[in-house]
Structure 1
């Protein structure tokens, strides 16, 4: 894995500024949480990192070098909020994962790697022959994580990956994220509007409001001793608080 740096990123669409001079670092082997209300610019920053939102200013760096989106292998992989929309309903789970592999190699090697990835996300290899519609929402999100890892990324961006799931399923997916970070040394930008979720998985947190980072630091420091009014408002909006 490696570090991902957003260096004074701006994104504009016409006269509308969606991101304004955003700087943020995802250190090697850490999970950084990005929080904010809907429309704050979180997902636009994620899309910029994978080349889906054009930059109006600034740079995106991997280990200090400008990131390039070329060829089959992508150094940053993204897991989207809705796992069903990110998977082809006509492709089997195994075929979908294989499609994301940078080098197809032999058929036997592909089967072995698909089985390894499915076991990594706690789905049995027998699921490889299933279609997305035969799986639950939580299982599809696990497949989406396996598919992202199949691309051998240097950084994974998870964009609201638990918000579409039942509360009972969210915990299992969050535990999986923590396990992956521990076992793989995963570098991840974890985007969520839920401060309690971010507190559970992230070592650092950044708070975004109206396209700007208004506060960032160690998760415990930011959530227990918030310095910005907007962070305090987000905390106050959570029943029982996130502390």
Structure 2
């Protein structure tokens, strides 16, 4: 399990500052939720970690060393928001997953590994021969997760991975995230504007406002007793039921309740 660290990261495009001096740790085996309104810089932070956005100042480290963003064996993998554009429509599910594998395997070993990865995301091995057009949005997002896992990453960056999905399948994908964390011990930065979703999956929450982290702490504390006005604003903007997505004993709400609230 690895530690992903953002240290004083700023991203500027010309005179426009998207991120300003952001510092954040994603500890080994933890899910850290990153929340904020559209335009706050959430996706830019994730994209900077995988080399898709320029870091103007600061550094991004994995276990104290700069994150490598070249070559096949990239230890930090990103899963994007839109499951309909993240997969090549001309490639089968199996081909997309195989393309991300670190090793070049023989035909039988490759099929076995593809089947294993599909099982991890709760899809039948027969889906390996399907093109993305034959899959639902939720199934495509599962394939995108399998593809990220194929690279054997140490950290996954999940960027609004449920926001483009129907409410009816959001809960299944969130349960999958929890299963992956438990079974694989992955570290994950889980980006979302939906506080109910974040509360369901995250150990800690960072609140991003206008490119700066204004609050950070354990999920129950940040969402249960927020200290910053912006965090209180985000909570106040939600229906009252959403702010009670965990039971009195602190455990996450059942999936059925989460579906009703999202």
Q: Normalising by the residue count of structure 1, what TM-score does the alignment of the two structures yield? A: 0.99
Give a deviation string over 1:126-168, Cα, whole Å, max 9, x none. Answer: 0000000000000000000000000111100000000000111
Partner residue in 2 for 1:173: 173
Partner of 1:68: 68
- In the other structure, the counterpart of 1:118 is 118
**Equivalent residues, number:** 243
Find the counterpart in structure 1 of residue 248 from structure 2.
none
Partner residue in 2 for 1:106: 106
Question: Cα RMSD (Å) of the superposition?
Answer: 0.7
SS at match of 1:51: coil
Aligned to 1:88: 88
Residue in 2 that maps onto 1:128? 128
Deviation, structure 1 residue 104: 1.5
Secondary structure, counterpart of 2:40 in structure 1:
coil
In structure 2, C-alpha distance between the alignment counterparts of 1:58 and 1:80, rounded to whole Å: 24
Residues 1:227 and 2:205 are matched in the alignment: no
Cα distance in 2, alignment partners of residues 51 and 103 from structure 1? 22
CA distance in 1, matches of 2:199, 2:143: 24
Distance of 1:69 and 1:183 partners within structure 2 = 26
Residue equivalent to 1:242: 243
| TM value normalised by structure 2 | 0.92
CA distance in 1, matches of 2:160, 2:217: 20
Question: Any stretches of 5+ residues in structure 2 without a counterpart?
Answer: 245-262
Unpaired segments ≥5 residues, structure 1:
none
Q: Aligned-pair distance for 1:70?
A: 2.1
SS at match of 1:242: helix
Q: Find the aligned partners of 1:217 and 1:12 in 2 and give their Cα distance.
A: 27
Deviation at 1:64, TM superposition (A): 1.1
* Pairwise CA distance, 1:181: 0.4
Distance 2:197 2:184 in 1: 20
